[in-house]
């Protein structure tokens, strides 16, 4: 097993974090029938989950492009000093990050084929989303792309942490979708600090870096909230679920969560408001939430079952 690396923050606190490594994942979507409403038989809960899934392939390839832009800068700063060696370690983490994000994008696109087979029309929504993302990328500078990536990875890490706190809920999901969501979540935790650490290298001034970081959060938060909502609404409309039924099914889903001993899950509160509040603290670093162990535990089981 690869030895863990240590990350030394500017506060001099040292934390042990996992190596980011690429796993040869290819889920058997062709072999297992996935029901249309795969999460607790609930159309609304499934649409919310599928709605964010629609954003992943293009979004994660954007994340890769944003970090890749800064590889030459990092490579030029590798030397024998402690700082240079940490940059060398970061470059290794980046390689794993690229591999993980590429596989996430591929597996979610393979799941899109399942959705199309279930009768969903996805391409119009995907074209609008990717067009808006592409226009933003063309008119903004690379440092904002990197800052938006760091903020986006913060949101995905929050969602990943929520997924592992909600493990009893996944007993009510199709097993293959459970593995897709939790494998993705675990690797998001594993690489959650990579873009943030690259941003620290790219913008040495703490004051300027904070301003860039906040700007990236504004972009990432607005894009994620708007397009996640639009993706969910698109899928619900194609299911023939109107607002009243969506609210009723949402309440049934929350009742199931309470029956399982889980708190109500409110996306705006639990992902956006809490996520933004933590990220805006000047001293924030992604590894202040030490959740690598829960990700590693799932990944060990996942690899034993799926990658044997």
| Buried/exposed 169-197: b ≥16 CB within 10 Å, e otherwise | bbebbbebbbbbbbbbbbbbbbbbbbbbb
275: CATH: 1.10.620
* pTM for this entry: 0.90
pLDDT of 56 above 80: yes
Sign of the alpha-carbon dihedral angle for 111, 113, 118, 119: positive
How many other CB atoms are found less than 10 A from the CB of residue 35?
A: 11
pLDDT at residue 262, rounded to an integer: 79
For residue 22, being part of any structural domain is answered with no
For residue 16, being part of any structural domain is answered with no
For residue 11, being part of any structural domain is answered with no
For residue 62, being part of any structural domain is answered with yes
Q: What is the residue whose two structure tokens read 């986006």?
A: 152
Domain count of the fold of the chain: 1
pLDDT band at 129 (very low <50, low <70, confident <90, very high): very high
Give the range of the structural domain holding residue 52, as residue numbers without chain letter. 29-306
Helix axes 123-139, 206-238, angle to 10 degrees: 160
For residue 14, being part of any structural domain is answered with no
For residue 23, being part of any structural domain is answered with no
For residue 243, being part of any structural domain is answered with yes
For residue 1, being part of any structural domain is answered with no
Q: pLDDT by residue (tens digit) across 203-250?
A: 999 999 999 999 999 999 999 999 999 999 999 999 999 999 999 988
Q: Which of 103, 125, 102 is nearest to 115 (CA)?
A: 125
pLDDT band at 2 (very low <50, low <70, confident <90, very high): very low
Q: What is the mean pLDDT of the chain?
A: 89
């Amino acid at each position: 097993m690869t030895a863990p690396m240590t990350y030394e923050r500017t506060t001099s606190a040292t934390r042990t974090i996992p190596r980011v490594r690429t796993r040869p994942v290819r889920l058997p979507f062709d072999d297992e029938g996935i029901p249309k409403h795969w999460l607790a038989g609930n159309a609304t809960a499934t649409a919310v989950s599928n709605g964010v899934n629609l954003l992943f392939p293009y979004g994660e390839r954007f994340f890769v492009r944003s970090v890749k832009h800064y590889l030459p800068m990092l490579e030029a700063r590798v030397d024998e000093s402690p700082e240079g060696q940490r940059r060398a370690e970061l470059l290794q983490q980046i390689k794993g990050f690229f591999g993980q994000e590429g596989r996430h994008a591929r597996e979610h696109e393979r799941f899109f084929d399942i959705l199309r087979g279930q009768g969903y029309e996805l391409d119009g929504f995907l074209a609008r989303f990717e067009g808006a993302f592409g226009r933003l990328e063309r008119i903004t500078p690379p440092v904002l792309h990197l800052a938006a990536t760091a903020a986006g990875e913060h949101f995905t890490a929050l969602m990943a942490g929520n997924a592992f706190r909600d493990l009893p809920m996944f007993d009510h999901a199709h097993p293959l979708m459970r593995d897709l969501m939790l494998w993705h979540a675990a690797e998001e935790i594993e690489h959650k600090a990579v873009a943030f650490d690259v941003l620290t290298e790219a913008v040495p001034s703490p004051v300027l870096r904070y301003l860039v970081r906040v700007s990236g959060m504004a972009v990432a938060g607005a894009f994620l909230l708007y397009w996640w909502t639009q993706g969910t609404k698109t899928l619900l409309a194609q299911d023939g679920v109107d607002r009243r039924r969506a609210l009723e099914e949402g309440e049934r889903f929350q009742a199931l969560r309470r029956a399982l001993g889980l708190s109500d899950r409110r996306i705006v509160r639990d992902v956006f408001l809490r996520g933004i509040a933590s990220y805006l603290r000047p001293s924030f670093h992604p590894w202040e939430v030490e959740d690598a162990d829960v990700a590693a535990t799932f990944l060990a089981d996942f690899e034993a079952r799926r990658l044997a």
